Amino acid sequence: MKFLNTNIDNVNMKEAVEIIDGFINDGKYHYVVTPNVDHIVRLEKDEEFKKVYDNADLILTDGMPLVWISKWLKTPVKEKVSGSDLFPTVCKLAAEKEYTVFILGAAEGVAFKAGENLKNKYKGLKIAGTYSPSFGFEKKPDEIEYIIKMINDIKPDILAVGVSAPKQEKFVAKYKDELKVPVSLAIGASIDIEAGNLKRAPVWMQKAGLEWFYRMFKQPKKIFKRVFIDDLKIIGIYSKYRTLN
């Protein structure tokens, strides 16, 4: 359905996982994005990012502020489906159905640690490979070629990419046809979370839409500008599209 400056798939977590399960088995290549307030703000100015969203196979709603806005627009979404919740849930599906997962992202060794923790959490889960790319890898053709060849040689069913937005979304979209992977997920900080390097806010704070507040105290330099300068632009975006709607 139409939502502000993009479209979203109005599904809950269970339905999202069922759709991803279908993607893995339909013989095509897909990618999944999970917009939050920061993404919506970026979509207003970044044409490349807009094309990524226009061509995404599944667009899920990440963040309670977007859930609230959907209600104010009288087009309520069923449920918040964040990348940090989706990734482990998809890993659970993979363990049950013997799908393989490749984890791309985070600092050196973190993706491997996340994989080990996920294998302990979901018995039978097959982590087919992990790789932590260098800083600025998206501008290094040799490393991009190396990553694509490595992933295609391994042939995972699911590729989980966590290299921060909008880099991760642009990567899975740009190389969708070169990466012979049934489904790629843009999962943000999920790798650090699963590795134990980053702790999520308590559930009550997540439900109250205060996860940003918790993260600001954990990562003040990274989060302060995004929340108090960049993301406040959502107010103007809401006003603009409420009028258009």
pLDDT in tens, 37-78: 999 999 999 999 999 999 999 999 998 999 999 999 999 999
Percent of the chain with pLDDT over 70: 93
Residue 19 CB burial class (10 angstroms; 0-12, 13-18, ≥19): middle
Q: Backbone phi, then psi, for 159, in 5-degree steps? A: -110, 120
Predicted confidence band at 156 (pLDDT cuts at 50, 70, 90)?
Answer: very high
Tell me how far apart the alpha carbons of residues 32 and 59 are, in angstroms, rounded to a whole number.
6
pLDDT at 224: 60
Judged against a pLDDT cut of 90, whether residue 220 lies above it is answered with: no
Return the closest-CA partner of residue 190 out of 86, 95, 107: 86
pTM over 0.95: no
Predicted confidence band at 180 (pLDDT cuts at 50, 70, 90)?
Answer: very high
Beta strands 126-131 and 100-105, pairing class: parallel
Is there a cis peptide before residue 166, judged by omega within 30 degrees of 0?
Answer: yes
Tell me how far apart the alpha carbons of residues 125 and 91 are, in angstroms, rounded to a whole number.
7
Place of tokens 């482990």: 88
Interval 194-210: pLDDT, tens: 999 988 878 888 877 77
Judged against a pLDDT cut of 90, whether residue 35 lies above it is answered with: yes
- Tally of CB atoms within 10 A around 225: 11
Residue 108 CB burial class (10 angstroms; 0-12, 13-18, ≥19): exposed
Residue 119 CB burial class (10 angstroms; 0-12, 13-18, ≥19): middle
